[in-house]
Amino acid sequence: MVYLSQLAVRPARRAKRAAEAAAGRRSHAERRVNVSPRSAAPQGEVELHALDASHLRRAISGAWRFEGLLDPAVAAAALQIAVDRFPLVAGWLERHGTGGLALRWDADADGRGAAWYEAIAPGSPPEVTDDVLLYETQCLPTMKRHCLLAAKVTQFPDANATLMVITIDHVVADYKSFLDFLSAWSDECEAIAAASRGVGAAPCAKWGARPAPVWDRSLLVDLSPPVSRASSSSGSGSSGSRDGTRTPPQAASEGGSSGVADNGVSSSGSGSTDGSSAVARAGKDSAFWEGEPVWHVDVLSRRQNVLMLGKGLLGMAGCESRSWVLPRAAIDGLKARLSGAAGGGAAVQPTTNDVLSALVAASVAWVSPGKVARRGGLNAHVVVNSRGRFGHAAGDDFFGNTSLLVPVWCPAALLPAADAPSPEPSAALAAHIHSALREELSAPAGLMRRRYEWMAAAQGAGVGGAVRSCEAAALLEGDVCIDNVSKYDEVFSVKFGGAAPASSNSMRFLACPRLAWVTAAGPTGHPADGSSHGDLRVSLALKRKKWARLAPWWKAMGLRQVGALGTLDVMIYHPTSLRNLVSEVTRTPVMGL
């Protein structure tokens, strides 16, 4: 493992860095950027939605290399203004007595705010896609004291280059909201830099055309669980303590949100004092799911969670995370080969996302025939931005989380058999994913609604942290997840006060087996329909022996491998993974929610 191999050389590196610092070739400074007292909202609190809480402890991190030396003073001044406009990024999390999760910010709170770091280092910056070197060269910002945003700008005078790395906790914002914040921050950098040269508009002028961010979670009220019309319960469960808070039965009896059964049966909770009870699905029961049960453990049990975490870590030790470039020509070729199959009674023209989902599902099924045979198929969990769907009133100006996992059950008959000559997906599989996904997105009371209600009930009962493990359990059981954020290529246009956009960029998410993270491989621009038409970067973690079989066929289909690293190393070198891992095991008062 790379991490262990680095331990022997770290003392020598620390001595070298100390010598460089003494010679003035290396420096480091840090501070907090809190909401200012003169801002429009110097104090505030938001009770986070179940959509927010479901992403707790999952960090999104971006790295940009700029040619030339960015001015840290400009970036820091612009960050202050951006924080005043988006105060949630300067906040912290607190547990409500009812078991909910709140985000607070306060201009008068000492030691609070976004973490800001400035550094100067000798030599050249590491490649933005190299997780290990980003860590070893101390270019990653540290998420201290449970801050929710951290940024670090490192100048490399020897190479006349600057590296900017920014990390945000997913509980605050999804990918789109994160990019909205970055774009606003970059615009302010540009305005301050122009004003300092005596040209251009004053700071914040660009925001006149940009809608103010909205973080009112009541916009998601239509996704909230329906008010219970009758108090009923089927079965009883253990009343042992969960995560240091009330058990589901206790939550129901004390007037909280409806209970979540932990004995493997569904239950309808009693009405709460605020009218927010729900139909709950929990424990071993997955009646809200289609296909074979998704997990076979009690996700409300701390013991089972620790065992599952251990199983996951052991599995990661044998996994490798590989990054591939999927050229547009290869995507167009797949689209052509997968077009025309009937889906929902009509011929289907698959989108890029349909092709990606079919490719990942077919590939994983081809190298994992045993799990597919035992379950009769697998779920392809497709991440979608739910703005404007499922009754959401949230628009493009919403700052928060509207990302949902939409599971599409793929029967074994549509997946390549173990003895198939290649893992290329069939037109029937692409059509099935295309139609099933759109059917679910158009069903206000369908599977996603039931899954969401289950999650909301768990959060209301104070066991959201444990129940989030259902997603990990699903992947351990053989499912796949496809998170395609490639259409948001404005990530390549941010300058942070530089003369030109970044020469290279990489966006990272958590390392997890069977999770495909898809980003644009470079700036492309998009047609009016919003579909991507440039090369894509696909990152996927699988067992090494599975890659040995799969990699040659991916190359034959036109993909080009651009990186490979042990999955456990990727997790360790992620800006927040170790802290998040400890919180999963210890269930600290806030991080254990």
Query: What pLDDT shows up at residue 13?
Result: 61
Per-residue tokens: 238? 């253990």
What is the pLDDT confidence band of residue 222, given thresholds at 50, 70 and 90?
A: low
Is residue 279's pLDDT more than 60?
no
Angle, helix 427-441 to helix 447-460, in steps of 10 degrees: 60
Contact 223, 392 (CB under 8 A): yes
User: SS3 of 560, please?
Assistant: strand
Between 271 and 157, where is the model more confident? 157
Query: What pLDDT shows up at residue 97?
Result: 67
From the candidate CATH numbers 3.10.20.30, 3.50.50.60, 3.30.559.10, 3.40.50.2300, the one assigned to the domain spanning 23-221: 3.30.559.10
What is the pLDDT confidence band of residue 18, given thresholds at 50, 70 and 90?
A: low
Q: Kindly tell me the number of DSSP H helices and DSSP E strands found in the chain.
A: 18, 20
Most confident of 43-52, 74-83, 212-221, 366-375: 74-83
How do the domains of the chain map onto residue ranges? 23-221, 278-394+402-491+505-586
- Closest to 504 (Cα-Cα) out of 118, 60, 61, 126: 126
- Which range is least confidently modeled, 109-123, 208-222, 453-467? 453-467
With a CB cutoff of 8 Å and minimum separation 6, the contacts of 234 are 261, 265, 266, 267, 268
Query: What pLDDT shows up at residue 53?
Result: 81
Contact 329, 386 (CB under 8 A): no
**23-221 shares its CATH topology with 278-394+402-491+505-586:** yes
- Closest to 295 (Cα-Cα) out of 181, 466, 178, 485: 466
Per-residue tokens: 134? 């980003």
Contact 516, 360 (CB under 8 A): yes
Which is it for strands 27-33 and 114-120: parallel, antiparallel or unpaired? Answer: antiparallel
Query: What pLDDT shows up at residue 582?
Result: 58
Between 427 and 583, where is the model more confident? 427
Contact 541, 320 (CB under 8 A): yes
Query: What pLDDT shows up at residue 428?
Result: 94
CA distance 200 to 196: 9
Cα dist. 412→105, 291, 356, 435, 481 in Å? 49, 11, 18, 17, 17
Nearest 5°: the CA angle 387, 35, 495 is 65
CA distance 223 to 404: 12
Contact 477, 296 (CB under 8 A): yes
What is the pLDDT confidence band of residue 307, given thresholds at 50, 70 and 90?
A: confident
Is residue 10's pLDDT more than 50?
yes
Contact 295, 286 (CB under 8 A): yes
What does 91-115 look like in DSSP terms, one character per residue? -EEEE-TTS-EEEEEETT-TT-SEE
Is residue 388's pLDDT more than 60?
yes
Cα dist. 123→26, 131, 156, 207, 237 in Å? 10, 18, 6, 37, 60
CA distance 200 to 206: 11
Identify the H or E element spanning 554. Answer: helix 544-556
Query: What pLDDT shows up at residue 197?
Result: 74
Handedness of CA 35, 37, 40, 42 (dihedral sign): positive
162: left (phi over 0), alpha (psi -120 to 50) or beta: beta
Query: What pLDDT shows up at residue 445?
Result: 72
What is the rounded average pLDDT of the residues 281-309? 53
Query: Environment class of residue 52 by beta-carbon count within 10 Å: exposed (0-12), middle (13-18) or buried (19+)?
Result: buried
pLDDT of 19-77, one tens digit each? 766 666 778 889 999 999 999 999 999 988 878 887 877 889 999 999 999 999 999 99
Fold of 278-394+402-491+505-586: Chloramphenicol Acetyltransferase (3.30.559)
What is the rounded average pLDDT of the residues 199-209? 52
pLDDT of 501-552, one tens digit each? 999 999 988 778 888 999 988 875 544 444 445 899 999 999 999 999 999 9
CA distance 171 to 580: 13
Contact 389, 395 (CB under 8 A): no
Per-residue tokens: 426? 């069939």
